[in-house]
C-alpha cells in the first residue's frame, strides 16, 4: 500500500482539486499516519486482552487499539468521501462522462 502524500492526493483529485480541499488533504495525510502507527502497534500485541474488573473477575476484552483503529478507518473513509475519492464516487463520475454513443 502506497503511503498517501499531499501531492499524490492532489494528483488523484486532478481537475476537481480546489484550494479549499487543502485542509482535508492535510488532515487525511495526518490521520493516515496515525492509522499506520495504530496498525503497527496492534501487530505487536494481541487482539484480545485480559481485564480484571473491580469485583476481581478476569475477562477477555477487545484490545482498545483495535477499537481506535476501526474509528480511524471510518474517519479516513469520511475524508475520502469529502474529497470525492471513494471508489463509488469515481465510478459515478466515469459513468457520467460516458456519452450515449454506445447506446445508439
Q: Give every CB contact of residue 37 below 8 A, 6+ residues apart in sequence.
A: none
In a domain, 99, yes or no: no
Query: Are residues 84 and 16 in contact, defined by beta-carbon separation less than 8 angstroms?
Result: yes
Counting Cα atoms < 13 Å in the Cβ hemisphere of 14 gives: 6
In a domain, 11, yes or no: no
Query: pLDDT per residue over 24-56, tens digit each?
Result: 999 999 999 999 999 999 999 998 999 999 999
Rounded Cα distance between 3 and 99, Å, is 35
Q: How confident is the model at residue 93 (pLDDT cuts 50, 70, 90)?
A: low
Total number of domains constituting the chain: 1
Helix 64-83 / helix 22-44 crossing angle, nearest 10 deg: 160
Residue 78 in this model has a pLDDT that exceeds 50: yes
Structural domain harbouring 35: 21-92
Kindly state the average pLDDT of the residues 8-21: 92
Residue 97 in this model has a pLDDT that exceeds 60: no
Query: Are residues 67 and 74 in contact, defined by beta-carbon separation less than 8 angstroms?
Result: no
Q: How confident is the model at residue 104 (pLDDT cuts 50, 70, 90)?
A: very low
Amino acid at each position: 500500500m502506497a503511503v498517501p502524500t499531499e501531492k499524490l492526493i492532489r494528483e488523484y483529485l486532478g481537475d476537481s482539486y480546489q484550494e479549499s480541499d487543502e485542509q482535508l488533504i492535510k488532515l487525511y495525510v495526518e490521520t493516515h499516519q496515525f492509522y499506520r502507527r495504530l496498525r503497527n502497534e496492534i501487530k505487536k500485541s494481541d487482539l484480545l486482552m485480559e481485564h480484571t474488573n473491580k469485583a476481581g473477575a478476569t475477562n477477555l476484552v477487545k484490545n482498545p487499539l483495535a477499537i481506535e483503529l476501526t474509528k480511524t478507518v471510518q474517519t479516513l473513509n469520511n475524508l475520502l468521501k469529502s474529497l470525492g475519492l471513494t471508489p463509488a464516487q469515481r465510478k459515478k463520475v466515469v459513468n457520467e462522462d460516458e456519452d450515449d454513443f454506445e447506446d445508439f
